[in-house]
Structure 1
Amino acid sequence: MAKVAIIMGVPNDHSRLTGILNYASKVLNEESVSFEIIKIHSLPSEDLITAKFDSEAIADANEIVKNSSGLLVLTPVYKASFSGILKTYLDLLPQKGLEDKVILPLVIGGSFGHLLTIEYALNPVLSALGANHIVNGVYTIDKHIDRIENNQFRIHEEAQQRLKNALDLFIRSIKKS
């Protein structure tokens, strides 16, 4: 059975990216794909900052990645690149830790001006970690995700359709592997 690791590269649970996480989780559940979520901001900050490779929490997160056939990488755009918290965690993965995994980047930003963040910032780092099957990522503008009550979100139809298409391709790919 296909298993997915979801890496959340945000500093808290209140980001609009949580709306994308919730939507992706729903789609994975509907397709009977099991998954585990790694919320980087919940890992011990000192272990992340000091690159404590032998940290139990870091080792547990890396084990989730190792045991997955697919990986969703969620990040906001900060200063024309992916988040620093995501980079800090990616630096703690083994050199070829993403080899033989299907990867789907899901990125949120403030304008289409940062659309190329996936291709020129994130994908090269994923490739350096051994990724050789990166599904075309989805870039969503934050204004296409409405914050509603109780930390819930509503994704606009066009953005939701792009996410669904990419997730469907991702799921087909991991089920083949």
Structure 2
Amino acid sequence: MPSIVALAGSPSVDSRTVALLRHIASHTHDVDVVPIRALPAEALLGADVDDPAVSEVVKKVADADALIVASPVYKAAYSGVLKTFLDLLPPAALAGKTVLPILTGGAPVHALALDYALRPVLTALGARHVLTGLFLIDKQIERTPDGVVLAPDLQARIDAAVAEL
């Protein structure tokens, strides 16, 4: 069975992105959710790939068959936390991998960030195939003490995207 690493690029402690990825992982086998914000800030900002926590995640990415890369939209792009992590990956880190990008935002206009901000970086890192991806309105993802409650149509969209992955 293929292994999937899900990179959660939210800087928020109470993150819909992490909760959403954990929800996806609970319905999908072999998904390892990695909240990038949990990595040491100094190591991320200094691009210290020798830091044990950072090198462990870089190895997980290298060993994965596929990736889910998720982030809230900030200033018409994915988060700086995610950008910082992606910048420290080697140039061909995603070579041969299929990637499902997921962005959440406050309005449908932010969906453009999938194609204009995130997809080019994933392609530049050598992803074999970047799927169409998902843009989800953040109000359709309600955080609960047990995870998330999704708007009725969201689960079917998520299931279809993960099945394609």
Task: Compare 117-126 and 19-28 and name the one that shifted more.
Answer: 19-28
1:153 aligns with 2:118: no
Please name the residue that 2:24 is paired with: 24
Per-residue CA deviations over 1:70-114 (Å, capped at 9, x if unaligned) read 001010000100000000000111110000011001110000011
For residues 76-95 of structure 1, the aligned pairs below 5 Å read 76-95=72-91
1:152: Cα distance to partner? 2.7
Conserved in 2, the CA contact under 8 Å of 1:19 and 1:155?
no
Structure 1 gaps of 5+ residues are 171-177
Q: Which amino acid aligns with 1:52?
A: D
Q: How many residues align?
A: 165
Could you tell me which residue of structure 2 aligns to residue 122 of structure 1?
A: 118
Aligned 8 A contact 1:14 1:151 in 2: no
Secondary structure of 1:74's aligned partner: strand
Rounded Cα–Cα distance in structure 1 between residues aligned with 2:17 and 2:148 = 9
C-alpha deviation, 1:22, in angstroms: 2.5
Contact kept, 8 Å, 1:77 with 1:109, in 2: the verdict is yes
- Pair 1:168-2:163 in alignment: yes
Q: Which residue among 51, 60, 76 is the counterpart of 1:64? A: 60
C-alpha change, 1:168 and 1:45, in structure 2 (3 Å) is same
SS at match of 1:130: coil
Kindly state the Cα deviation for residue 147 of structure 1 after the two structures are TM-superposed.
Answer: 2.9
Uncovered stretches (5+) of structure 2, i.e. residues with no partner: none
Shift of 1:132: 2.2
* Change beyond 3 A, Cα 1:19–1:39: closer
Q: Is the 8 A contact 1:47 1:55 kept in 2?
A: yes
Deviations 1:21-56 (A, max 9, x none): 13211221xxxx312222111111000011112222
TM-score (norm 2): 0.94
Identity %: 36
Which amino acid in the other structure matches residue 2 of structure 1?
Answer: P
Equivalent-residue separation in structure 2 for 1:61 and 1:135 (angstroms):
22
* Aligned residue in 2 for 1:10: 10
Corresponding residue SS for 1:5: strand
* Aligned match for 1:144, one of 140, 144, 157: 140
Counterpart secondary structure, 1:165:
helix
- The one-letter amino acid paired with 2:18 is T
One-letter amino acid of the counterpart of residue 161, structure 1? A
SS at match of 1:162: helix
- Give the distance between the partners of 1:84 and 1:108, measured in 2 at CA: 14
Deviation at 1:162, TM superposition (A): 1.0
